[in-house]
Structure 1
Amino acid sequence: MARPKKSEAPNLAERVNLTGGAIERLTCPPGKQQAFMRDTEAPSLRVRVTASGAKSFVFEAKLNRQTIRRTIGDVRDWTIEKARAEARDLAVMLDKGTDPRELERKQLADKAAQQTAAAAQALTVGEVWPLYLATGKPKRRDAWKPRYRADLEAMAAPGGEKKKRGEGLTRPGPLRPLLALRLADVNEDALKSWFDSEALKGKHQATRALMMFRGFLRWCAARPEYRSLIDRDAGRAAAIVEALPSNTRRTDALEAAQVPGWWAGVEQLSNRTASVYLRALLLTGARREELAALTWANVDFQWRKLTLADKVEDTRTIPLTPYLAQILATLPRVGPHVFASTGKAGRITDTRASHAQALKHACIDHLTVHGLRRSFSLLGEAAGAPAGAIAQVMGHKPSATAEGYRPRSVDALRPFLAQIEAHVLALAGVKFDAQAEPGKLRVVA
């Protein structure tokens, strides 16, 4: 057989000794997408040419009667000898029963896993925090309470905004410094250093921020993608716990002898909304946020009921007692909220200043707004109301040991709450016509 001329394209039907010239003359036959030129020295080596003229070295062999083809590389990047050596190595691998394609896929998967792990290691608290705010939630709840969600945002706020009260700009939230940390760097030492720094600005605020961050760590530990990156118990390390302020339960409450002075001080407040709100807290034992968020739509004057947003359940309904109905009816209806305000929230948010004025008038040294809730419980016991009824009105979880607790209907609760109200009013020296139409409160001589 005559040798083909060096200017002619190689005969693809036969093996050829790969040379630079043969590769240069290789063309794809008309009407085909690709063609292969086989090597004589390395039987599994091919040179592939496409219709566009691109050329590359290719390994081709059979495994379990199936053709295996794997690209080695561009002919401009690989020498013929290196391509032959690679083809021989792949052939040896195939003889051992190893599929080069599977090996390559494994290598790519390992590389991707390494890249993912490296990216995860670089993940910061600040990158994950927004996802926690969006999808995190407390146990047995569908979502954050609006107030707690707002507190979470405030704790990590960057600061630098104009203060709503007073001059100057707001400071960064206590959790802000932690957002820059990598998740993998959140450990006992890092949290101890952060807590010690924040405690200098306010120990109780730093403690509350720590409790919130513990919730974040628990949430991360429950998610597979973050579980290996964090130390869930970093915030519970002994060095941190020892520095926490004592968790002494507050016991402040009105004594029976203090009720007249406190009541008179509250009645004399220039802010009538705050005055009614504070008295309503004492007469219902409600949590301050529950009552502040009360809307007119949830006040039923006809059937004498109040529906409050509840901390444990979604809502709870309690009786609307006669005196409370009358003072609520005297409030102006300037919006959806019963205790309306001109502030951004549209409702009363902080009555500590007003309460302080009333306490000063009554010569009472200390009583928190939450102390009014404890006062309701104690005064309710003094009035002779059952512990279970008091707990239900306050929204406490039922206690089966107290009295074989069974939830009462609103009508079953009504006489007990009226009994408590009458006791408080008697202590305060208030007399009124219980039969009067709400909104037409009148003192009885």
Structure 2
Amino acid sequence: MTKQKLTKRVVESAPVPETGEGRIWDSEIAGFCLRIYPGTETRQGHAAKPVRRMFAIKYRVRGIQRWLTLGEHGDGPDKLTADRARKEAASVVVDARRGIDPGEARRRIEGLTVKGLVELYLEKGPDDKPTKRDSSWAMDRTNLERHVVPLLGKMALDTLTRDHITGMIRSITAGKTAKDVKTKLRGRSIVKGGAGIADRTYSTLRATFNWAIDKGHFAGPNPCAKVERKLRPAVERFLSEAQAQDLIAALDALEADATISERQGAVYRLLLLTGARRNEIAGLRWTEVDFDRRRLVLPPSRTKAGGRTGDRRISLNDMAFGILQRLYKTRGRSQFVFPATKGDNGYATSESKIWRDKVLPKAKLEGVRIHDLRHSFASFALADGASLPMIGKALGHANSRATERYAHLSDDPVRALAERIGERFSPKA
């Protein structure tokens, strides 16, 4: 842990981390620190973000640990010099010793509402969670803006209770926030309700409050904590070998009569053959296909685990490798393996509709989801004797807990072995 007196020279010369957050703790005032966040380069449609140096203090009041962001380093009217930040930090320590929470007092003066917190989280959160994917942030924005804000947006944070959170979950489940939103010229965003959306929205809001507490924007406790929910049983389906063969035969037939193209059918074949997630295949770029080593190499920004596991490497068996070789011969100018039919920059996003309207009826696999192809890959691997750690590595899981859902499948090959042994001693007809 780095400790030194936070002076103007120390603050301005503090090293900037490549990712995440750097901290320097003051050597004189306990809990007083400088938090350094790296900037970002200019991206299409987004301006570059400068390096940020924030003064903060961690303190304990009435037995509870708190964080309070004091402000950003600088000389402007809305910035803090090192000397001024030191005085504010010392004042926080004195108040905390008296049982006064200065952070709570500040938040009450500001009157931060749930809507204000949502806006703050969506603005500042990406800097604090650099490994979280853009698609995950887009989902968070939808959950918060389309469901939380309409129901709780006007409420002050310190008036929110578990009963309000429970009511929110009940309302979303009942579809009270569902609507058809016009987003742009000929654009629509169909906002759905239901138990699944309610559960994901609750989890997003809980994470939002945890972030706010950690960053000192809210004194807590988290109103989403200890909320009793009706847990939904995990819905997982695994294709049998015969069903998988039926799926392949259905894709062959649909391609043969030009109901779907070979490129459209290849998406589902690769999902079954690799165990990859839908967007990992649908959004595949040619630069991510390593033909020499017969594998896919996806950067952290394209994987669910993000930077926790580095690049995701997906091995290609002969069948999957052959599919990509054939597609490469007919590639166009697009960087994507499965380019959109309209436009030059995007990738196809119609796999769900094609799956629902064409593939499932032909294969007679009612109720099977595209994601179940990933589960089926794991099921076949386990039946062939692969260990759970090996399956987790193949599926790109960040921890073993995600793979443990397949543990019960290990009974199937064991049972088959027992049956074969039993047949040795059964009476012969």
User: If the TM-score is normalised by the length of the shorter chain, which range does it land in?
Assistant: 0.5 to 0.7
Instruction: Give the Cα separation in 2 of the matches to 1:138 and 1:218.
Output: 15
Instruction: Give the Cα separation in 2 of the matches to 1:399 and 1:231.
Output: 30
Deviation (angstroms), 1:292: 2.3
User: Who is 2:244 aligned against?
Assistant: 259
In the alignment, does 2:346 pair up with 1:346? Answer: yes
Alignment of 1:208-287 (within 5 A): 208-227=200-219, 230-232=220-222, 234-238=223-227, 241-242=228-229, 244=230, 246-267=231-252, 268-269=254-255, 270-287=260-277
In the alignment, does 2:317 pair up with 1:321? Answer: yes
Give the aligned residue type for 1:257: A
CA contact (8 A) 2:296 2:316 kept: yes
Deviation (angstroms), 1:399: 5.4
Tell me the C-alpha RMSD between the 2 structures.
3.2
- Aligned residue for 1:247, secondary structure, equals coil
Give the aligned residue type for 2:242: A
User: Who is 2:154 aligned against?
Assistant: 180
User: Who is 1:335 aligned against?
Assistant: 334
Deviation (angstroms), 1:265: 1.7
Instruction: Give the Cα separation in 2 of the matches to 1:399 and 1:370.
Output: 19
Instruction: Give the Cα separation in 1 of the matches to 2:207 and 2:127.
Output: 8
CA contact (8 A) 1:187 1:231 kept: no
Stretch deviating more after TM superposition (262-271 or 204-213):
262-271
Instruction: Give the Cα separation in 2 of the matches to 1:343 and 1:391.
Output: 36
Instruction: Give the Cα separation in 2 of the matches to 1:343 and 1:173.
Output: 31
Instruction: Give the Cα separation in 1 of the matches to 2:104 and 2:247.
Output: 66
Residues 382 and 120 of structure 1, relative CA distance in 2, 3 Å threshold:
same
In the alignment, does 2:123 pair up with 1:154? Answer: no
Instruction: Give the Cα separation in 2 of the matches to 1:114 and 1:174.
Output: 24
Residues 181 and 271 of structure 1, relative CA distance in 2, 3 Å threshold:
farther
Task: Identify unmatched segments of 5+ residues in structure 1.
Answer: 1-105, 158-171, 403-445
- Aligned residue for 2:218, secondary structure, equals helix
In the alignment, does 2:165 pair up with 1:191? Answer: yes
Task: Identify unmatched segments of 5+ residues in structure 2.
Answer: 1-90, 96-101, 176-193, 404-429
Instruction: Give the Cα separation in 2 of the matches to 1:386 and 1:220.
Output: 40
Q: TM-score, normalised by structure 1?
A: 0.54
User: Who is 1:126 aligned against?
Assistant: 115
- Aligned residue for 2:354, secondary structure, equals helix
CA contact (8 A) 2:169 2:202 kept: yes
In the alignment, does 2:199 pair up with 1:207? Answer: yes
User: Who is 1:95 aligned against?
Assistant: none
Residues 385 and 196 of structure 1, relative CA distance in 2, 3 Å threshold:
closer
Residues 350 and 134 of structure 1, relative CA distance in 2, 3 Å threshold:
farther
Instruction: Give the Cα separation in 2 of the matches to 1:224 and 1:398.
Output: 29
Give the structure with higher Rg (CA). 1
Give the aligned residue type for 2:290: D
Residues 208 and 350 of structure 1, relative CA distance in 2, 3 Å threshold:
farther
Instruction: Give the Cα separation in 1 of the matches to 2:293 and 2:319.
Output: 15
Q: TM-score, normalised by structure 2?
A: 0.56
In the alignment, does 2:265 pair up with 1:304? Answer: no
Give the aligned residue type for 2:211: W
Give the aligned residue type for 1:327: I
User: Who is 2:372 aligned against?
Assistant: 371
Alignment of 1:66-85 (within 5 A): none
CA contact (8 A) 1:125 1:179 kept: yes
Identity value in percent: 25
CA contact (8 A) 1:155 1:173 kept: yes
Tell me the matched-pair count. Answer: 270
One of 290, 305, 315 as aligned partner of 2:280: 290
Instruction: Give the Cα separation in 1 of the matches to 2:198 and 2:387.
Output: 39
Residues 114 and 302 of structure 1, relative CA distance in 2, 3 Å threshold:
closer
Instruction: Give the Cα separation in 1 of the matches to 2:118 and 2:363.
Output: 46
Deviations 1:61-107 (A, max 9, x none): xxxxxxxxxxxxxxxxxxxxxxxxxxxxxxxxxxxxxxxxxxxxx9x
User: Who is 2:12 aligned against?
Assistant: none
